[in-house]
Copies of this chain bind each other. A is one copy, B any other.
Amino acid sequence: MTRLVRYLPVLDWGRSYTGAQMSSDLIAALVVTIMLIPQSLAYALLAGLPPEAGIYASVAPILLYAVFGTSRVLAVGPVAVVSLMTAVAVGQVAEQGTMGYALAALSLAMLSGALLVAMGLLKLGFLANFLSHPVIAGFITASGVLIAASQLKHILGVPAQGHTLLEIAASLAGLIPDTNLLALVIGGGATAFLFWVRRGLKPLLRRIGLPAALSDVAVKAGPVAAVVATTWLVQAYELNARGVAIVGEIPQSLPPLTLPSFSPELLQALFVPALLISVIGFVESISVAQTLAARKRQRIDPDQELIGLGAANLGAAFSGGFPVTGGFARSVVNYDAGAETPAAGAFTAIGLGAAALYLTPLVHFLPKATLAATIITAVLSLVDFSILKRTWVYSKADFTAVAVTIAMTLALGVEAGVSAGVLMSLLLHLYKTSRPHVAEVGRVPGTEHFRNINRHKVETSPGLLSLRIDESLYFVNARFLETLVLDRLARDKDLRNVVLMCSAVNEIDYSALENLEAINLRLKEQGIGLHLSEVKGPVMDRLQKTHFLDDLNGRVYLSQFQAWKDLAAAG
């Protein structure tokens, strides 16, 4: 039973569900549903799919996540970055607007879902940690810029293309003469309106005396207002006949049962993109889930989250959707609106199902320029180049990783960008550990504490050299220590004892062991003792399996202070 609850969190919260929780969940669901209708249509557009795919991708995934996920308020569905990555990945194997394109999007969701579930069952949630925070921040910022740029074509009403900033700019530049002025007025107007709603409306409403909660609702209704106004405009003046692109006919139906393509060549071509989408989606989702859970002292299980998101993507694959994940904006809205349990998500799914059945004719005349405006305002709020400045101040290595991520994402696209960011941050880490900090230490007077002789006023003893090695010893830096000790030896002729203080040595691998043996041999030849102090339990366990301790020309001391008492006196 406990085991079943671990894999089906719904059994945990479902059994104690109360009427009070239900009314909170219903209100939250209503707010989220209203917000999601235009957003779902917009992200389908971004992914290069027919608008209804966005709504379908919000129904089954939410329901499945409610059963398998561990976050109580995470709202799963299409999100900006994953939709862009879907457009890039599927665009490589099929032509937009074809049946093959929609089919490939289903296969991508299926692959991504299968990968997530597999990673969850194999407890590989830690893989997400290979994306450092600065790399994520840089990637989100650069993706936001790319997404906004990619939507300009809808605002201008031209068929531009491209997946990198340069491609998009070149394509747009060539098409500017073809700009549809009506689309530009609608799209530009909607964008300006939505920015004003975000920045200026709330303070205004508060000034004229509206309560905070009501002002919030008004702000959230902004996109809906833009949709209603521009749809009416197009319908009333038949602007679609004058070249304004509209959403058009949407089938009135619940999400259909669909079957992704299982073509081996297709699945192979989509494998790497699916992996990247899974990892990026997981990282985005778990960050949101953990932030919101922490506010209510709830816990998120990363491995179970993988299974929850995997189930959601498999759901999307078999119900006409495309890759989904937990979205930041919608989850925060869900939380702020008072959602208590995943049932809020289930109610949202019902709301969206109803919308798919009854409301789709109303958005027939909705201009694509308006959807583009909602995307642009949403993603530009994610753009934050300040990460460059913050990392520059703190650490040049972190700064380099961010800068590379942003530059590569803009110049070569999302997949190259995130891969370069991960690789760069790992290489920089390895480089840093290859040249570890080593401090010569002395005793802080009157204590048993030992610190760097260059930073603190400490006591030293002639003939005794105490080195604190500030890194695990492993193959990348194994030779470094040998070089350092021997160089030091060549300079100090009166040396009688060397103590390696191992308080910061968390591992000694086989390569480092061989180098330690070489150091020991060399010191022994010259009649100099080699001692270790503060060796940790796990490291000591290893050393005891070898001959190293038997051959050591000295002792292993529990603490540096004991080594000092013993050796400084002898010296």
Q: Which A residues have a C-beta under 8 Å from some C-beta of B?
A: 126, 129-135, 294, 297, 299, 390-391, 393-395, 397-398, 425-426, 429-430, 432-437, 439, 444, 447-449, 451-452, 455, 470-472, 474-480, 486-487, 490, 503-507, 509-511, 513-514, 518, 522, 536-538, 542, 545-546, 558-559, 561
Contacts and interface: CB of A to CB of B under 8 A. Distances in A.
A474 to B, nearest CB: 6
Contact of A510 (B133, B430, B433): B133
Given A126-B434, A455-B537, A509-B132, A474 B429 contact: yes
26 contacts: A126-B434, A126-B480, A130-B476, A131-B475, A132-B474, A132-B509, A132-B511, A133-B511, A135-B475, A294-B518, A299-B487, A394-B513, A394-B545, A398-B511, A429-B475, A429-B509, A432-B507, A436-B506, A437-B536, A444-B558, A447-B561, A448-B449, A470-B506, A471-B472, A504-B504, A504-B505
B130 A395 contact: no
B510 A132 contact: yes
A134 B511 contact: yes
A371 B294 CA distance: 72
Contacts of A476: 129-130, 429
B395 A447 contact: no
B129 A475 contact: yes
Contacts of A479: 129
Contacts of A507: 432
Contacts of A397: 509
Contacts of A135: 475
A448 B561 contact: yes
Nearest to A538: B437
Interface centre among A397, A436, A474, A503 (most CB of B within 10 A): A474
B510 A134 contact: yes
Nearest to A507: B432
B449 A510 contact: no
A321 B252 CA distance: 76
Contacts of A474: 132, 429
Nearest to A431: B126
Contacts of A299: 486-487, 490
9 shortest interchain CB distances as A-B pairs: A132-B475, A448-B448, A133-B511, A398-B510, A449-B559, A470-B506, A503-B503, A504-B504, A132-B511
Nearest to A287: B479
Given A449-B559, A470-B536, A537-B439, A478 B129 contact: yes
A451 B471 CA distance: 19
A66 to B, nearest CB: 24
A419 to B, nearest CB: 15
A545 B394 CA distance: 7
A496 to B, nearest CB: 18
A394 B448 contact: no
Contacts of A390: 510
B133 A542 contact: no
Contacts of A505: 504
A561 B439 CA distance: 21
Nearest to A394: B510
B475 A133 contact: yes
Which interface residue of A439, A507, A513 has the most chain B CB atoms within 10 A? A507
A455 to B, nearest CB: 5
Contacts of A133: 475, 478, 510-511, 514
